[in-house]
Amino acid sequence: MSYPFLKGHGTENDFVVLPDADGALHGDADGEMSADRVRALCDRRAGIGGDGVLRAVRRGDGWFMDYRNADGSVSEMCGNGVRVFARYLHEREGEPFPMRIQTRAGVKVLDRSGDELTADMGSPEVLGETEVSVMGRSRPALHVSMGNPHAVAFVDDLAEAGPLLEAPEHDDGVFPDGVNVEFVVRRGAHHVAMRVHERGSGETRSCGTGACAAAVATALADDAPRGTTYRVDVPGGTLHVEWTEDDRILMTGPAVLVAEGVTDL
């Protein structure tokens, strides 16, 4: 069976986009997508390659972003992915901005910001102190939810995160379904850089929700007034994150479609 696909990225966090308007092409009787298909598509040597799959399904009068990690597991939200998803809906499905996208973490509103897109990621949840460990060294971290779980750890040098070939150790009682771990270093006033290990995908070039969590943790540490915009550098580029007066997280960054075709993976 052959079917169409697109490939896109946001700050080099890359995704396979699968058009599936009626949910029948890639869904079983329960509407669920095969984890084997996701893994095959995301395989960088034998497949198309990507950090995850964005399946575009119509729900009611809108669209649902069915996001899957590269290992086939389900994730609640993806910040870079939702911008790529919005770019696809605008350029291929004719959806106007601003647009509302349904996700497992609620409805996200996307709008243009020059050549980039801004996503209203909703209100963050700051859930207390926790701990992560890499290469036998434990570090304090802040547990932040952006609809999906994050542990933000500050370091003096991003090299301290090590190779990140394995998931950092964490408290399974706090994170029973795994956690995205951000290692963050300060670069200047309202400016940080980070590396991230994403559950289900490994180290990625960027994580949008992780950048939001990093900005929240830094703003709290700085006692920064609401409305302060933080620049977050990731290996794949730069995102800008604002924590607004009305407790919303606005994330702005690029979203690019780079290829499309047909596959039978």
Digit-coded pLDDT (tens) for 160-207: 999 999 999 999 999 999 999 999 999 999 999 999 999 999 999 999
pLDDT tier for residue 30 given thresholds of 50, 70 and 90: confident
Number of domains, the chain: 2
Residue 48 has pLDDT above 90, yes or no: yes
- Residue 180 is labelled as binding a ligand: yes
Residues 130 and 229 in one domain: yes
Tell whether 233 and 129 lie within a shared domain: yes
Q: Are residues 114 and 129 in the same domain?
A: no
Residues 115, 167, single domain; the answer is no
Lowest mean pLDDT among 27-31, 66-70, 227-231, 237-241: 27-31
Q: Minimal CA–CA distance to 85: which of 49, 113, 57, 121?
A: 57
Question: Can you give the three-state secondary structure of 7-64, one letter per residue?
Answer: EEEECCEEEEEEECCCCCCCCCCCCCCCHHHHHHHHCCCCCCCCCEEEEEEEECCEEE
Q: 132 and 242, same structural domain?
A: yes
Contact yes or no for 82/101 (Cβ under 8 A): yes
189 shares a domain with 89: no
- The two tokens of residue 128 are 């207390």
Whether residue 149 is found in the same domain as residue 221: yes
- pLDDT at position 117 is 98
| Rg (the chain; Cα; Å) | 18
pLDDT at res. 28: 82
Contacts for 142 with CB less than 8 Å, ≥ 6 apart: 126, 128, 129, 130, 151, 152, 213, 217, 220
User: What does pTM read for this prediction?
Assistant: 0.95
| Chain segment 60-69, per-residue pLDDT in tens | 999 999 999 9
Which of 194, 207, 215, 255 is the catalytic position? Answer: 207
Residues 153 and 86 in one domain: no
Tell me the one-letter amino acid at 178: G
Tell whether 116 and 8 lie within a shared domain.
yes
Residue 162: which region, alpha, beta or left (left: phi > 0; alpha: psi -120 to 50)? left
Q: What percent of the chain has pLDDT over 90?
A: 96
Q: Does 13 show up as a binding residue in the annotation? A: yes
Please check whether residues 192 and 218 belong to one and the same domain: yes
Distance CA 55, CA 58 (A): 10
CATH number of the CATH domain containing 44: 3.10.310.10
69 is an annotated ligand-binding site residue: yes
The confidence score (pLDDT) of residue 31 equals: 80
- Parent domain of 71: 3-120+255-263
For the question of residue 207 being annotated catalytic, the response is yes
